[in-house]
Amino acid sequence: MATTRAEMARKVGERLWRNARRVRRALPRKNRFVIYLSVLGPGIIAANSGNDASGIATYSSVGAKYGYSLIWILIPTLISLAMVQEMCARMGVVTGKGLADLIREQFGVRWTTLVMLALFIANGGVIVSEFVGIAAASELFGLPRYVIVPVTAFGVWWLVVKGTQKRVERVFLAMSLVFLCYIVSAFLAKPNWGEVGKDLLRPSFSFDSSYLFMLVALIGTTITPFMQVFVQSSVVEKGLSEDDYSLARADVIVGTLFSVLIAFFIVVSTAATLHVTGVTEISTAADAAQSLEPVAGKYARFLFAVGLFGAAMLAMGVLPLATAYSISEALGFEKGLSRSFREAPIFLSIFTFLIVAGAVVAMIPGLPQIHLLLVTQCINGLLLPVILIAIIKLINNRELMGNYVNGKIFNIFAWLITIIVSTLSLLLIGVTLFK
């Protein structure tokens, strides 16, 4: 009897799913575009939050020191990021659970606790760097950091704690548009597009420790653990289901393309200005913005600084949210942007603590910023292989994913990406420690 009922329920479900697909296909293109816009968000926000203050500093350093010679690595990085983000989005729509939830259920509490502790420490350090980015950008406009940092911290906190999931997502999407400044900045720099095209399609390699460090940092700053946690949790909270999979995948691909395109233009703009004039050493994205003015004019510098401020603002919201999501999921607590402090006290308390702590630490005079970034990079480097392996094991679990497991070819590329990224991440740690 139970089998008969289960079979009937399955048939009803399949019929409803087929009807929904017919309705969607029958919709005019305009209406289908509206549906896409309703799903739009998690992939774009997650991918662009990787272009944070430290990421911009890395891309700027690559352009200034090596010109266009390292720009080719953005193509394999684009493919890798899209595949990893797609797997997380797919797990979100199929299982209805966040990444930390699935890790806890499949790998146990002890393993989950270790991973979440490392994620908390690493993300905490990067959050501080985002506030440092806010401070640097504000000072480029002649505004004191001791005013701007607390104001922006409160603004982000108020948006998340008092806003709805839809409102927060819309603001984050609007923040992503500020990255367009880097495209304009690159064209103002008047690069040699012929050379750019040649180096984009002609890989080069060197065993020089400095070159190797920059290569690994370029990859490591693009694919980070918090992005995978955020995109899956956001897909779940948005209520997307298997029927929305194709749209969620499109969102991830669009977000990845836009994110890597911005990285491309940052490298191009600094290579076309700083590298050709002999300015090869910069320590922050703010340095790059200031250095652009003599060769590209004040507008390029201004646009670069605006982009830095917007990038730090976006990451400053996404990083604490990703951390709060992961820890709340791992411990089984209530979570969600639409919940109040009474409904999700742990989730919102973690978010609040990270915002306050990040702002306070960033305002400490004489803070060793570079050392802090290196330490957090090392922790993220150790954590990334663990997260990637967990993602592939989960995505290939038929009990969880059913027919949505990876295909053979996709799996080969997924494991190849994991092995290469993991090796490079560990190599980054070695280079960092012994440089």
Residue 87 pLDDT: 92
Going by C-alpha positions, the residue among 218, 220, 303 that lies closest to residue 267 is 218
pLDDT at 184 over 90: no
158, pLDDT greater than 80:
yes
With cut-offs at 50, 70 and 90, classify the pLDDT of residue 20: very low
Distance CA 326, CA 122 (A): 13
Let me know: does 126 contact 58? Beta carbons within 8 Å: no
**Is residue 396 predicted with pLDDT exceeding 90?**
yes
Digit-coded pLDDT (tens) for 210-222? 777 777 777 767 7
Q: What is the pLDDT of residue 128?
A: 82
The pLDDT tens digits of the residues spanning 229-277 come to 778 887 887 777 788 788 888 888 888 888 888 889 989 988 888 887 7
Q: What is the mean pLDDT of residues 194-212?
A: 82
* Structure-model confidence comparison of residues 255 and 38, the more confident one: 255
> How high is the pLDDT of residue 185?
83
Higher pLDDT, 9 or 61: 61
pLDDT exceeds 80 at position 279: no
Give the per-residue pLDDT at 378: 61
State the pLDDT confidence band at 47, using cuts at 50, 70 and 90. Answer: low
Amino acid 14: pLDDT: 44
Angle in degrees, CA 61, 64, 69, rounded to 5: 95
Rounded CA gap, 132 and 392, in Å? 35
Cβ neighbours of residue 249 closer than 8 Å, sequence gap 6 or more = 86, 89, 90
Q: Which residue has the higher pLDDT, 174 or 65?
A: 65
Express as a percent the part of the chain with pLDDT over 70.
Answer: 76
Domains in the chain, please, with CATH? 40-434 (1.20.1740.10)
Give per-residue pLDDT as tens, 49-78: 666 777 777 888 888 888 898 889 889 888
Looking at residue 18, what is its pLDDT? 43
For residue 134, what pLDDT band results from cuts at 50, 70 and 90?
Answer: confident
What value does the CA radius of gyration of the chain take, rounded to a whole number of Å?
A: 22
pTM greater than the 0.75 cutoff: yes
Q: Can you give the pLDDT at residue 373?
A: 59
132 pLDDT more than 90: no
Asked if 314 and 175 count as a contact pair (C-beta separation under 8 A), the reply is: yes
CA dist 329 and 345 (Å) reads 13
Amino acid at 279: V
49 and 314 Cβ atoms separated by less than 8 Å: yes
Structure-block tokens of residue 91: 């797990």
**CA pair distance 402, 416, nearest whole angstrom:** 23
Asked whether 313 and 156 are in contact (CB, 8 A), the reply is: yes
pLDDT of residue 38: 42
Look at residues 218, 222, 204 and name the one whose alpha carbon lies nearest to residue 83. 222
Q: What residue type is 267 in one-letter code?
A: V
- Give the per-residue pLDDT at 49: 64
pLDDT of 412 strictly over 80: yes
pLDDT of residue 262: 86
Distance in angstroms (rounded) separating the CA atoms of residues 326 and 119: 9
Residue 392 to residues 82, 89, 359, 397, Cα–Cα distance (Å): 14, 13, 35, 9
Q: Is the dihedral of CA 338, 130, 177, 77 positive or negative?
A: negative
Q: How far apart are CA 376 and CA 118, in angstroms?
A: 10
- 381 pLDDT above the threshold of 80: no
The structure tokens listed for 185 are 């900045």
pLDDT number for residue 6: 45
Q: Mind listing the pLDDT tens digit for each residue in 75-107?
A: 988 888 889 889 998 998 898 888 888 888 888
For residue 196, is pLDDT > 70?
A: yes
pLDDT mean over 421-428 = 72
- Mean per-residue pLDDT over the chain, rounded: 76
